[in-house]
């Protein structure tokens, strides 16, 4: 088994047909609902597979939401697969979830490709250029997926710990 599908959270902020809510309030609700459904706290999260479309408005809204949930100095490693494979539209959320599951299973966070100039306003621990070992401090990874019209979905996955 790669991991457990531990919880999920949905929200629809209906801020605008194409523009995200700049405060990230709908994303915050989806993140908190996923954590609550998984019976997890922000401190349990070891990785976020971000939606991260590389749009200024979208990435800043997601970053603001992550900081609101994990704290301004939150050090949760964040990565995005869209830099590696592009935006797969309707399949993007499934791929983010698979990336998070594989990260938990293999214990390595894949880098965000093409992330050379990170906006200081994001203020996140973005894994760039080289893979990084997964922190051992918690068991939960989140896969984010957002869509037009303010649709927000977050899947919480829990790593399977093997006992020797």
The 10s digit of each residue's pLDDT in 107-128 is: 999 999 988 888 888 899 999 9
Instruction: Mention every residue, 6+ apart, whose C-beta is less than 8 A from residue 116.
Output: 128
Confidence band of 164 (pLDDT split at 50, 70, 90): low
Question: In the block, which residue shows the tokens 């019976």?
Answer: 39
Mean confidence (pLDDT) of the chain: 92
Residue 61 pLDDT exceeds 90: yes
- Torsion over CA: 128, 22, 141, 12 (sign): negative
pTM: predicted TM-score of the whole model, two decimal places: 0.93
55 with 84: CB under 8 angstroms? no
pLDDT at 161 over 80: no
Instruction: Look at 107 and 150; give whichever has higher pLDDT.
Output: 107
The yes or no reply on domain 3-159 and CATH 3.40.47.10 is: yes
For tokens 């051992």, the residue is 136
């Amino acid at each position: 088994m790669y991991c457990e599908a531990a919880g999920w959270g949905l929200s629809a902020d209906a801020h605008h047909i194409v523009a995200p809510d700049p405060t990230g309030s709908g994303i915050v609700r989806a993140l908190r609902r996923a954590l609550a459904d998984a019976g997890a706290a922000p401190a349990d999260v070891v990785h976020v597979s971000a939606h991260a479309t590389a749009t200024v408005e979208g990435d800043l809204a997601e970053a603001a939401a992550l900081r609101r949930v994990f704290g301004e100095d939150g050090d949760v490693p964040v990565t995005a697969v869209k830099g590696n494979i592009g935006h797969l539209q309707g399949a993007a959320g499934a791929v983010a979830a698979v990336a998070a599951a594989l990260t938990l299973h293999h214990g390595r966070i894949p880098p965000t490709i093409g992330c050379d100039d990170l906006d200081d306003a994001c203020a996140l621990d973005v894994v760039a250029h080289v893979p990084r070992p997964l922190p051992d401090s918690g068991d939960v990874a989140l896969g984010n997926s957002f869509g037009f019209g303010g649709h927000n979905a977050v899947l919480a996955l829990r790593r399977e710990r093997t006992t020797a």
